[in-house]
Amino acid sequence: MVPIFIANFSVIARLLSNLFKKKAFWKWPEEEEKAFQTLKQCLVSPPILKQADFSKPFLIRTDASNYALGAVLLQGEDKEEHPVEFVSRLLNPAERNYSTTRSSSCGLVLNKFRGYIDGASITVASDHQPLRWLMKLKSPTGRLARWALQLQSFNLNMEYIPGKSNLVADMLSRPACHEENELCEVCTVAIDVPSRSPKEIRDEQMKDEELVKIISCLEFPDKNVNYVN
């Protein structure tokens, strides 16, 4: 999962990856140490993934090159946008032959983000105009019909953006490593939970009218038949 946090991970980690090759001679001179320290610094440098806020709409930026696709799930507005999750993968030989690869990539990306966006309002921003055309096509057939049906299961608003403004997704769709791999995903959640004793938690719960009813029902079910029903 670490590569999804770091742009050009395979380039930075190339020397370290070589150490794991069969019959590789183990060494750790200055260049390997520099690569290791660079990777550690990248993990704590922007952009840092943030927890999703399901009360707010989602924005997806997606892009596809001739051999890969990538996307980022975002929340926020303009300069305050922050990433929730990144996805990217290489296209298989059959997918590379599609004349509408970018249209298919949108469906693949939406399925990977389904846990976040199912039932939510979503804006999909792409520099590929045919995506908007596909959504408005009246009588699609074959592969186009399957893709259109897949997209229609989401509450989508398609938005065109120039390629120069789609830098993050564009970068993800052009990974430095050209090895076949599965669609990668990473999700991080950071919650600051204060340390409290069981007694303190119970005392706080007893201040809530609804929780008091539930606790009473669980402790004395015979006396709370009406509430249970």
* pLDDT tens digits, one per residue of 170-211: 444 455 444 444 444 444 444 455 667 788 888 888 888 888
Distance CA 84, CA 105 (A): 19
Contact 83, 63 (CB under 8 A): no
Q: pLDDT tens, 92-146?
A: 777 777 655 455 456 567 788 888 888 888 888 876 666 666 666 666 666 667 7
128 three-class SS:
coil
Cβ(47)–Cβ(172) below 8 Å:
no
Identify the pLDDT of residue 139. Answer: 66
- 1 pLDDT band, cuts 50/70/90, is low
- pLDDT (0 to 100) of residue 179: 45
> For residue 138, how far is the Cα from the chain centroid?
31
Judge whether 116 and 85 are in contact, CB under 8 Å. Answer: yes
Residue-level length of the chain = 229
Q: What is the mean pLDDT of the chain?
A: 71
Q: Which residues contact 64 (CB under 8 A, 6 or more apart)?
A: 70, 91, 101, 102, 105, 128, 173
